Structure 1
């Protein structure tokens, strides 16, 4: 896809990585539906002007997600791209201390929300001649991060869901890929650093490039996977984490102190 008349939906599109992806796609000519639960989605859409619309969506609600897909079809008559960004991680406890309620919320938003979006969008794309889905997973879904057990488990699930969807819809020209960011300067990361003093420096030291990621770093990769330049790429999980996964285990983020 190269923009123009193409239509994409971005969940979690009002802040952080989602906002960067919305801006990137809108700048390349996509018509974009900004889906978010924060209430900021209308402000984002208004700021980007023509070709960008907003919808209030709770990704854990099947009715909301179905309505999101229908809104893209009602507004523009097609759906070519979906980027599942909506996610949360409100808890940074050890597994033994993690409240079950926090686990349930993390699973619902990160994994169930992605499942629902694929469930309703992939058949529409298949019926329309194809499309591309990009799921924002996490480097933690590949390598694991202490004090983020539920989040890592959910994101590992997103990666496996990506692979299965790629197999199921590939013959209908629907490509499905995941992007796995490392620690990226988003509100979620700021919450982590606030709750874990000193960890920012440790994360930077554990990254081959010696810096945290920017939302735009992830957005550019997601935009590539939506484009025709990635027409033979599906079922993969692309790390965008500055080389952290190549670092020694002893330098991993948030190690458990004895």
Structure 2
């Protein structure tokens, strides 16, 4: 028999931001997912040792049957409160199709799958990036970004990124914003919400790898940040926790920047 327990599902649950998000939900059941079962098990055990009510399952978020397994796993655990989608790759991957597929196509697959089990008070919080704000609106690619599973969607967007995986990342993250706009009414019909969070430079292993590849650019960004520091995973996690809570009950279809104010100062760098 199912129990009503308001599960919090976190993709990228083995990552720095995913773990920080999990730690803000001390009194709720948490379900972690990531690509590797080994990483999931390790992260689940760490949080269990800290007293959290947590379980986990591996999931390739680009694979529909894997996502179906994840949704079934969540359903078996009880009622669904929130999807916190932190999984993704950066432009350091150097594979444009992979960046587009993991960061945007998979996001739509998850939105569609979790909509099926969403109910009153459920929420999807999708991690985008401050770099989404560096991509201007343009009908020439926005329609493709809003419909990433459509035929020729990738090919259309690919024409605008000059073969640069970092720029493809920015475009894919703009697409995440557009998906939240596109799905706000659909989720709203279930009295559920969908929002995005756009972190700036957050000191996670992924960001540190980017810093190694672009040290001068990263130093410039830090200097241009009004708060004169990089973000910590907890800076994002606290905002995510607020968005999941009933305190954010009238917030949907919108984005919150968590970037120390820097994007307004560096847009002309891109």
Q: Same fold (TM over 0.5)?
A: yes
Structure 2: distance between partners of 1:215 and 1:55 = 22
Superposition map of 1:75-94 within 5 A: 76-91=77-92
User: Structure 1 residues 63, 248: closer, same or farther in 2, change over 3 A?
Assistant: closer
Q: Which aligned runs of 4 or more in structure 1 are off by greater than 6 angstroms?
A: none
Q: TM-score, normalised by structure 2?
A: 0.82
Work out whether residues 24 and 220 of structure 1, in 8 Å CA contact, stay in contact via their aligned partners in 2: yes
For residue 207 of structure 2, what is the aligned residue in structure 1?
Answer: 189
For residue 142 of structure 1, what is the aligned residue in structure 2?
Answer: 133
Structure 2: distance between partners of 1:68 and 1:184 = 28
For residue 53 of structure 2, what is the aligned residue in structure 1?
Answer: 51
Structure 1: distance between partners of 2:195 and 2:65 = 25
My pick for the range that moved more, 236-245 or 48-57, is 48-57
User: Residue 72 of structure 2 is aligned with which of 70, 73, 93?
Assistant: 70
Query: How far apart are residue 245 of structure 1 and its match?
Result: 2.1
Query: How far apart are residue 154 of structure 1 and its match?
Result: 0.5
Structure 2: distance between partners of 1:200 and 1:89 = 14
Query: How far apart are residue 183 of structure 1 and its match?
Result: 0.9
Q: How many residues align?
A: 236
Stretches of structure 1 lacking an aligned partner (at least 5 in a row): 93-98
Work out whether residues 88 and 109 of structure 1, in 8 Å CA contact, stay in contact via their aligned partners in 2: yes
Query: How far apart are residue 203 of structure 1 and its match?
Result: 1.5
Work out whether residues 208 and 246 of structure 1, in 8 Å CA contact, stay in contact via their aligned partners in 2: no
What RMSD in Å do the two structures reach over aligned CA positions?
A: 2.0
Structure 2: distance between partners of 1:120 and 1:200 = 36
For residue 11 of structure 1, what is the aligned residue in structure 2?
Answer: 11
